[in-house]
Amino acid sequence: MRVGALLLAVLVTLFIGLRAAMPPSVVPASAPPTVFSAGRAMADVHAIAMRPHPTGSADNARVRDHLVTRLRALGLSPEERRYLIDPRGAKTLRRWTGAEVISNDVVNLLAVLPGRDRTLPAVALMAHYDTVWGSPGSGDDSIGVASALEILRAIKAKGAPARDVVVLFTDGEEIGLSGARDFWPRDGAAAHVGVVVNLEARGAGGRATMFETGAANGAMMALFAKSVAHPVANSLSVMAYRRMPNDTDFTLVREKGLPGFNFAIMGRPQYYHSPRATIDRLDPRSVQDMGDQALGIVSALAFAPTLPGRSADAVFFDIGGAGMAHYGIATGWWLLIGAAVALFVAGLGVRRAGLLSLRSVGEGLALPVWLMSHATLALNALNLLSGSARHPNYYDRLAALPMLEAQAVLAGLAVLGGMVLLRRSRYRAVGLLPILALGLLDLVLGGRLGLVLPCLLAGMAAAWFAPRAGEGLWGGWLALIGVLLLGALGAQAAAPLAAWLLAVPALLLALVAMIVAWVDAPLARAAGWMVVAAGAAAVSAPLLPLAHLAFLGIGAGLPEMVALFLLVLAAAFWPLARCERAPRWALVVPAVLLVMAGAIAMHVRTDPIAPTIPAYSLDK
């Protein structure tokens, strides 16, 4: 029964998780006029991304003429906003040797779809139409410009909106946000805008993600959750992006204090700023996904009688792309209280059945400590082995992301396999060998002592005090859920926008454990195993697309983040996957997985520089 429940939970997790990570099918050009159609939008992508069009070039003027024609065809009166290229932008253009510069101007395009009440704060739809030198930019940012035109057409087809909808196509984003830097602080039209939706790209495929908001987003996120049918967004990415040095045109919006939403695609990262970012390499399904999500929120804002006001930042996350949960930061404390109560009641139920002792819970704590320490060192060592310490070309590293992700998956499975097989060796020193080997490898490859030493000590302690005969079901499971809960408590205090990543799984798993503990603590019936499998799938299925998105965003450089995802998976699957009486030779499986991950790392390290990288990046 256990094996069947495990297989069912894995299959459901993979089916839901992988499906949620895939963009939707393309809606054809014959679709109703109020619907976003990538079939229609791709015609503009073809016209825009024919050739590279950096600021000041002849092709940049060609694209601008096309946009003016398209806006006029929609019944709008586009205006040019011209500014001199700033010194930073001029320096970048000089470095991009070979660009045909015919103008020293940055030229934004502004057009307005009039609303019924033109005194109301407007909704701005923004994308940049310039590219880096040498890249046709089918993703960055032809997808944003084409989507904006199709969104504008769809909104007009719905009738006159309540307020003006402003479309702003900026120039000079790739040379230092030049067009946005001139427009948002100084242009008089900026004062009319009450909220901004920006469309961006760092790649050429994958799900469109709403990864950044303005400050005080609580009420805005409530509207977003209600109006976007299949969202991909979470407050963890918003918190992380606020702390990163990256910029888009939306940075100027955020600094101005305006509310808004920033969308981007990040799949197929090898085509970011690439000379091979041609039209045939852009996934039209990603255009559909960006358009569907952005049209949902732009339409809701445009037709709303009043815009949502400023309110405290919300905690929010999509549920496998099928919907969105959102709540205030204070609610996070109630989730933790609920999880703690459920975990305590579960412990009482198991204790009542005579299946739990304090010693078993104490020994169970070796599991999460062993997992986190070994996973962090293994992932960090593989990242270093793949060449990250050699100051690699940023774009070459982006091109390697699919391989690096496969490497991380294999390493993660290896460590999870080692955890479910964990037991104390007859000679305790033998159990210390894996963590010692990983720690030494990390140090030899240039790992940070501040990361390696704590993991080394924690991993040695966990291996030393591991249970002699393998950890049983309940001691290990309650310990893993308890560690999730403790981690969520720390996150709630220090980074509440990210605490849901641990708090929600802790609550769900504690509730599942409580039900099973009082209904079928020995797990002697199929129904009990089905409840455990359902809980594992409910926690893990939304985690897969989130982990993929996080890896695209941060790469392989933060092994601690990947280890957190492994901790949640371990807590979800422990009752189903534990191998209490597995033979020692079973350790060959995780060893083989680690060797495969190491082979991928060596391949990435020795592979020639990717042909997709932009030529200008070679002089950095």
pLDDT of 359 strictly over 90: no
Query: What crossing angle do the helices spanning 473-494 and 329-352 adopt, rounded to 10°?
Result: 160
The pLDDT, as a whole number, for residue 88 is 85
Range 87-100 average pLDDT: 77
The pLDDT, as a whole number, for residue 244 is 80
Place of tokens 């060893």: 591
Contacts of 252 (CB under 8 A, 6+ apart): 177, 180, 181, 183, 184, 185
Q: Do the Cβ atoms of 229 and 150 come closer than 8 Å?
A: no
Residue 114's CB: how many other CB atoms inside 10 A? 14
pLDDT of 291 strictly over 90: yes
Alpha-carbon distance of 321 to 409, in angstroms, equals: 22
**Residue 241, SS3?**
helix
Between the CA of residue 404 and those of 49, 315, 367, 452, what are the distances in Å?
29, 30, 26, 21
Between the CA atoms of 540, 546, 549 and 553, what dihedral angle is there, to the nearest 10 degrees? -120
Identify the bridge partners of residue 364 per DSSP, sorted by sequence position.
none
Q: Do the Cβ atoms of 565 and 543 come closer than 8 Å?
A: yes
Exposed/middle/buried for residue 233 (C-beta within 10 Å: 0-12, 13-18, 19+): buried
Residue 471 — very low, low, confident or very high, per pLDDT cuts 50/70/90? low
The pLDDT, as a whole number, for residue 98 is 58
Alpha-carbon distance of 283 to 278, in angstroms, equals: 11
pLDDT of 474 strictly over 80: yes
Range 273-295 average pLDDT: 97
The pLDDT, as a whole number, for residue 493 is 97
Least confident of 390-399, 415-424, 492-501: 390-399
Least confident of 18-32, 34-48, 95-109: 95-109
Return mean pLDDT, the chain: 93
pLDDT of 589 strictly over 60: yes
pLDDT of 620 strictly over 70: no
Range 431-442 average pLDDT: 94
pLDDT of 592 strictly over 60: yes
pLDDT per residue over 362-384, tens digit each? 889 999 999 999 999 999 999 99
The pLDDT, as a whole number, for residue 619 is 60
Please report the beta strands in 96-240, taking only residues with DSSP state E, as ranges in sequence order: 105-113, 122-128, 165-170, 193-201, 205-213
The pLDDT, as a whole number, for residue 470 is 64
pLDDT of 100 strictly over 70: no
Q: What is the bridge-based pairing of β-strands 165-170 and 122-128?
A: parallel
Domain boundaries, the chain: 44-327, 344-608
Maximum alpha-carbon separation in the chain: 82
The pLDDT, as a whole number, for residue 425 is 77
Which of 533, 492, 489, 181 minimizes the C-alpha distance to 328?
A: 492
Alpha-carbon distance of 611 to 289, in angstroms, equals: 28
- Pick the more confident residue, 88 or 371: 371
Range 600-620 average pLDDT: 86
The pLDDT, as a whole number, for residue 313 is 94
pLDDT of 469 strictly over 90: no
The pLDDT, as a whole number, for residue 97 is 63
Element housing 243 (H / E): none
The sign one gets for the Cα dihedral 560, 565, 571, 575 is: negative
Alpha-carbon distance of 332 to 429, in angstroms, equals: 42
- Pick the more confident residue, 3 or 44: 44
Q: State both tokens at 564.
A: 């957190």
Range 50-77 average pLDDT: 96
Q: State both tokens at 72.
A: 């006029």
Which DSSP symbol is given to 234? Answer: B
**Residue 467, SS3?**
coil
Residue 212 — very low, low, confident or very high, per pLDDT cuts 50/70/90? very high
Return the amino acid letter for 137: G
pLDDT per residue over 103-147, tens digit each? 788 999 999 999 999 999 999 999 999 999 999 999 999 999 999
The pTM score is 0.92
The pLDDT, as a whole number, for residue 245 is 79
Which of 223, 196, 191, 225 minimizes the C-alpha distance to 212?
A: 196
The pLDDT, as a whole number, for residue 553 is 85
Q: State both tokens at 26.
A: 């393309």
Q: Do the Cβ atoms of 438 and 377 come closer than 8 Å?
A: yes
- Pick the more confident residue, 614 or 503: 503
Residue 101 — very low, low, confident or very high, per pLDDT cuts 50/70/90? low
pLDDT of 210 strictly over 90: yes
Which of 197, 207, 199, 196 minimizes the C-alpha distance to 143?
A: 199
Range 34-42 average pLDDT: 97
**Residue 317, SS3?**
strand
Alpha-carbon distance of 138 to 136, in angstroms, equals: 6
What architecture (CATH level 2) is domain 44-327? 3-Layer(aba) Sandwich (3.40)
What is the helix, strand, coil percentage profile of the chain, to 5?
Answer: 60, 10, 30
Residue 181 — very low, low, confident or very high, per pLDDT cuts 50/70/90? very high
Range 233-262 average pLDDT: 92
The pLDDT, as a whole number, for residue 94 is 83
- Pick the more confident residue, 472 or 57: 57
Q: Do the Cβ atoms of 95 and 619 come closer than 8 Å?
A: yes
The pLDDT, as a whole number, for residue 562 is 86
Exposed/middle/buried for residue 469 (C-beta within 10 Å: 0-12, 13-18, 19+): exposed
Convert 184-216 into a string of H (helix), E (strand) and C (coil): HHHCHHHHHEEEEEEEEECCCEEEEEEEEECCC
The pLDDT, as a whole number, for residue 427 is 81
pLDDT per residue over 518-574, tens digit each? 999 999 999 999 999 999 999 999 999 999 998 888 877 777 788 999 999 999 999
Residue 391 — very low, low, confident or very high, per pLDDT cuts 50/70/90? low
